[in-house]
Amino acid sequence: MGFSGIRLYCRPMPPQGSNLRLYRRLLLFVGAIYLLWWLAVRFILPSAFNPLGSRLAVVLAIWCVGLASFVSEAARRHLTSLFVAGLWLLTAHYFYLSYGNGFDHNWVVGAFITVSAISLAIFSRGALFAYSAFTLSLSIAAVVALPALRDSVFLPGVFTVLLQANIGMQSRLRVLKSLEESTQRFRLLFDSTFEGILIHEHGRVVQANDAAVRLLGFQNDELVGRQVLDLVPVDEHALLGDAPDQSAPVQVQVVKRDASPIDLEVRGKPLGDGSQQARLLNLRDVSEEKRQAAALKRSNEALERSNIELQRFAFVASHDLQTPLRSIGSFIGLLQSTYGESLDAVANDWLGRSQQSAKQLQTVIHDLLEYSQLETNARPFSPVPMAEVLQHTKTLLDAVITESKAELTYGELPMVEGDRSQLVQLMLNLLGNAIKYRGTEPPRVHVSAEPEGLGWRFAVKDNGIGIAPKHQQQIFEIFKRLHAAKEYSGTGIGLAVCRRVVTRHGGRIWVESEPGHGSTFSFTLEKEPYP
Ligand code: ADP
């Protein structure tokens, strides 16, 4: 699976690796065949001119080139030229034998076979061309030396064989050139991916891209040939990618060459039609992701802990404050009823104000308690008909509606997925505010709903005093009030409760308003999933 193999044909360069092995095998093979021919001639044409000495010298020369490539760097560097020189020598020797045998028809046929076989073993255009010129020169010399050959097929035959070899080489080169181009494009793609890729056969790495080299910290040639399991210790299934397309990703910690750890996500994939044992491993560095996820988890846990502590504190504080406050209220009441008549007007006014403040404080504590218990009292979601929620809210607000002569209308309201009691609380706060923050006219409030995205958008529209744009964000913060308690009673907690309820339901809440022209509070809720 090397990329260098086809370079052999396109650009003559010192053979390396598998090419070197190919040349050595060819030299051995060519020498052996030529020697076998001696034996064949000896049996088939016993009376032919067939001296063993010169043939042995040629074969030994060819084999020596192969042997020299093992010991000499220079021989290795010039192996291509030495190889071709060996083929020239063999051809020349064959012509010498043919001449000795008067180029009878057996030797002519042998010449065609020899020349075409040798042509197939030459891999560069220039070398083949030079070999053709050499062979043709030998052939012409033979025709000159043996004029009888002029009347045979010998010369046109050799010419045809050489022509065919040269034309064949042209088309082979074209195919190989386009193959080399697409291989280069593939290599570029292979190396430019951010994911590491290891290709392995029978568990041994045969190719690695640049990203894999970077991820694992090894040089490319250090990766090739290694057991893939030594590099990426994942279970067999993930490694082999037996699934038709690719295996599920597995996360594994790998030790790089410099002994530093790295977290990788590994996916295995069979290569091609899966009949070969070649597999591909995709490697993605997830160390940073893992670090960030762990940090996020830690800060979420810390946040959750501090939230729980805060809620616990708010609950305990408001709960414990309620009892003494109730006593203060009742003692002030007792003071007023028992000694009210004997006190002067100023003292009575002070008692009245104290009573008022105690009541206000009680309301704040009640609302705070409600706010702090939102999570703890939360119930699982279920399908809730919003029309029923509104009806229930209306009943709870009955007294206020009658007293303020409010007109409360609503259109068709859908089912939603939520916590019923929290949705009642939400509507109670919004409708209560719509009536409380009324202008001079009797309040008119309309509730509507329309689909939005995957859920619903609800709107509570009133004809009240309205809210200036600069306050429209702040009013959802806890304790944020725009009016003094004397003007409009309240604690500044109602809308904060609304926001928490809507957020818990996966929605958002906002207001659109113009001072003096009423307000529209909108919020979104998810659709009931199984209508
Ligand atoms: P509270 O009503 O107890 O003061 P809220 O959190 O319910 O607290 O409301 C915060 C502020 O938002 C109120 O003080 C009021 O100024 C303003 N507000 C809320 N609803 C309306 C409304 N429908 N019209 C005008 N102003 C409103």
Query: Would you state the pLDDT for residue 9?
Result: 46
Query: What are residue 258's phi and psi, to 5 degrees?
Result: -85, 15
Q: Is 463 in the pocket of ligand 1 (CB under 6 A)?
A: no
Question: For ligand 1, atom 11, which residue shows the shortest CA distance?
Answer: 481
CA of 356 to the centre of ligand 1 (A): 21
> Which of 1, 471, 405, 30 lies closest to 224, judged by CA?
1
Residue range 451-467: mean pLDDT, rounded: 94
Confidence of residue 486 (pLDDT cuts 50, 70, 90): confident
Q: Is 426 in the pocket of ligand 1 (CB under 6 A)?
A: no
Q: Is 437 in the pocket of ligand 1 (CB under 6 A)?
A: yes
Q: Is 462 in the pocket of ligand 1 (CB under 6 A)?
A: yes
Q: Is 433 in the pocket of ligand 1 (CB under 6 A)?
A: yes
Mutate to test the pocket of ligand 1, among 495, 499, 520, 522 (most ligand atoms within 8 A of CB): 495
Question: For ligand 1, atom 2, which residue shows the shortest CA distance?
Answer: 490
pLDDT at 248 over 80: no
**May I ask the CATH architecture of the domain 193-285?**
2-Layer Sandwich (3.30)
> Which of 89, 80, 76, 190 lies closest to 125, judged by CA?
80
CA of 520 to the centre of ligand 1 (A): 12
293 burial (CB, 10 Å; 0-12 / 13-18 / 19+) is: exposed
Atom of ligand 1 minimally distant from the CA of 495: 6
**May I ask the CATH architecture of the domain 382-526?**
2-Layer Sandwich (3.30)
- Give Cα separations from 200 to 245, 339, 429 (angstroms): 17, 99, 67
pLDDT digits (tens, 9 = 90+) for 364-404: 888 888 888 887 778 889 999 999 999 999 999 999 999 99
Query: What are residue 376's phi and psi, to 5 degrees?
Result: -65, -30
Residue type for 105, please?
Answer: H
Query: Would you state the pLDDT for residue 378?
Result: 80
Q: Is 490 in the pocket of ligand 1 (CB under 6 A)?
A: yes
Query: What are residue 309's phi and psi, to 5 degrees?
Result: -65, -40
Q: Is 286 in the pocket of ligand 1 (CB under 6 A)?
A: no
Distance CA 12, CA 81 (A): 9
Distance CA 514, CA 414 (A): 28
- Token pair belonging to 347: 């003292």
492 burial (CB, 10 Å; 0-12 / 13-18 / 19+) is: middle
Confidence of residue 6 (pLDDT cuts 50, 70, 90): very low
Residue range 1-28: mean pLDDT, rounded: 65
Mutate to test the pocket of ligand 1, among 428, 433, 511, 522 (most ligand atoms within 8 A of CB): 433
Q: Which residue has the tokens 């809507």?
A: 502
pLDDT at 2 over 50: no
- Token pair belonging to 14: 């010192």
pLDDT more than 70, % of the chain: 92
Query: What are residue 440's phi and psi, to 5 degrees?
Result: -80, -25
Q: Is 492 in the pocket of ligand 1 (CB under 6 A)?
A: yes
Helix (H) or strand (E) holding 33: helix 17-44
* Region of 247 on the Ramachandran plot (φ > 0 left; ψ -120 to 50 alpha; else beta): beta
- Mean of the per-residue pLDDT values of the chain: 89
Which residue spans within 261-359 are E strands per DSSP? 261-270, 278-285
CA of 453 to the centre of ligand 1 (A): 28
Confidence of residue 240 (pLDDT cuts 50, 70, 90): low
Question: For ligand 1, atom 8, which residue shows the shortest CA distance?
Answer: 492
pLDDT at 351 over 80: yes
Q: Is 358 in the pocket of ligand 1 (CB under 6 A)?
A: no
Q: Is 31 in the pocket of ligand 1 (CB under 6 A)?
A: no
Query: Would you state the pLDDT for residue 389?
Result: 96
Q: Is 205 in the pocket of ligand 1 (CB under 6 A)?
A: no
Q: Say whether pTM exceeds 0.75.
A: no
Atom of ligand 1 minimally distant from the CA of 466: 25
pLDDT digits (tens, 9 = 90+) for 415-427: 999 999 999 999 9
Residue 184 and residue 205 in contact, taking contact as beta carbons nearer than 8 Å: no
Q: Coil, strand or helix: which one is 101?
A: coil
Query: Would you state the pLDDT for residue 4?
Result: 42
Atom of ligand 1 minimally distant from the CA of 480: 10
Distance CA 277, CA 269 (A): 11
- Give Cα separations from 134 to 95, 120, 159, 160, 229 (angstroms): 11, 16, 12, 15, 54
Q: Is 517 in the pocket of ligand 1 (CB under 6 A)?
A: no
CA of 410 to the centre of ligand 1 (A): 21
CA atoms in the 13 A half-sphere facing the CB of 118: 30
Confidence of residue 8 (pLDDT cuts 50, 70, 90): very low
CA of 362 to the centre of ligand 1 (A): 19
Query: What are residue 465's phi and psi, to 5 degrees?
Result: -75, -15
Atom of ligand 1 minimally distant from the CA of 491: 3
- Give Cα separations from 431 to 133, 397, 426, 500 (angstroms): 105, 8, 9, 17
CA of 486 to the centre of ligand 1 (A): 14
Q: Parse the chain into domains and list their residue ranges.
A: 2-190, 193-285, 303-372, 382-526
Q: Is 207 in the pocket of ligand 1 (CB under 6 A)?
A: no
Q: Is 471 in the pocket of ligand 1 (CB under 6 A)?
A: no
pLDDT at 263 over 90: yes
> Which of 433 and 325 is assigned the larger pLDDT?
433
Question: For ligand 1, atom 19, which residue shows the shortest CA distance?
Answer: 433
Q: Which residues of 223-262 are buried (b: 16+ CB within 10 A; e: fewer)?
A: bbebebeebbebeeebbbbeeeeebebbebebeeeeeeeb
Residue type for 268, please?
Answer: G
